[in-house]
Amino acid sequence: MHKQSIINTLLVDDEPAAIEGLRLRLQAFPQIHIIGEAHSVAEALTLINNQQLELIFLDIDMPGQSGFELIRHLQPELCPAIIFVTAFHQYAVKAFEVRALDYLLKPVKLERLVEAITRVSEFAVSRAGKAQMLQAIADITEQNRAESGSMPGSEPSSVAGAVTSPALPATKATADSAQAIEPQYCIERQKLVIQDGRSPIQLIPYQDIIWIDAAGDYMCVHTQSETYVMRARLKSLINERLPDVFVQIHKSTVVNLTYIEQLLPLGNTEYKAILHNKKMLKVSRTYARALKLRLLG
């Protein structure tokens, strides 16, 4: 077994308690060497200019200058790996736009910290090798999809059918063949595949996804415990990948019908969808009627 490389690390957060909590959790990772802590962007820049760093745990919402301001001061080719640590999931899209390696929500869970440190270690060992591995997996996924006989025009219905019924996909091969054909497993019929070329591929079961909201070319995919970010257009996601248990309720939001507990009328033909976790999502008048038909039959 190869000895783990030491990762020189800086903690940046304006809350001392947050830094102390993260420092305690990082004691479980012998490869992490904390060289210092900073409570502002100015303090962080001073340490960065005088230390050789591989990793920064960076808060976003700080007085004066934000974590994003710190990144603007760093040369891209010399920038350490960045893991954002924040209490607000709404910054996730912007965090990945500036090429953060990971995005952790406070309070930081140990299992997510393990995932983040693993990413840093892999990134430090071989960025090129990791990219090749992701491309190989993507090629295998594409090959399996092609071998399953799905055509581009029929992909949405085959995805939906696989979720709602265990029957074989309605392809021309199964319709015309008199012999039983062994069904081939296609991962994208059961799980949403999230890959960005820089991070490990995430496979999220569709039944675990509560809702998805959009911000330009990025999607925030919300489950009970995590928020994942993927690069995709909402329209193509709806038309090509999501099963029909998902319904659009706003121009930038789709929701899993199984998690809706109530529809609260707002008096202007708009509604609030109350989810099982008490999260409230706005249902615009454009999509309200279709949603009620899906819920009420």
What is the tens place of the pLDDT at every residue in 208-238? Answer: 999 998 876 778 888 988 888 888 888 888 8
d(CA 177, CA 36): 67
Q: Which residue has the higher pLDDT, 129 or 216?
A: 216
In contact, 116 and 104? CB cutoff 8 Å: yes
Instruction: Give the closest residue to 174 by CA, choosing from 186, 164, 163, 184.
Output: 184
pLDDT of residue 124: 67
| Beta-strand pair 218-222/227-231 | antiparallel
37 close to 19: Cβ distance less than 8 angstroms: yes
Going along the chain from its start, the domains and CATH numbers come out as 7-125 (3.40.50.2300), 126-170+182-242 (2.40.50), 244-297 (no CATH)
Q: Give 63-116 pLDDT, tens digit per residue.
A: 889 999 898 888 765 678 899 998 887 777 777 767 788 889 888 888 889 988
Q: How confident is the model at residue 196 (pLDDT cuts 50, 70, 90)?
A: low
Q: What is the pLDDT of residues 6-57, one digit of tens each?
A: 899 999 999 999 999 999 999 999 999 999 999 999 999 999 888 888 899 9
pLDDT tens digits, 142-182: 555 565 554 444 343 333 333 333 333 444 343 443 343 33
**In this predicted structure, what is the pLDDT of residue 278?**
87
Q: How big is the chain by its Cα radius of gyration, in Å? A: 22
Question: Does residue 261 come out as left (phi exceeding 0), alpha (psi in the -120 to 50 range) or beta?
Answer: alpha
List the helix and strand counts (H, then E) for the chain: 10, 15
Return mean pLDDT, the chain: 77
Residue 138 has pLDDT above 90, yes or no: no
State mean pLDDT over 280-285.
Answer: 91
Residues in the chain, total: 297
DSSP state of 289: H
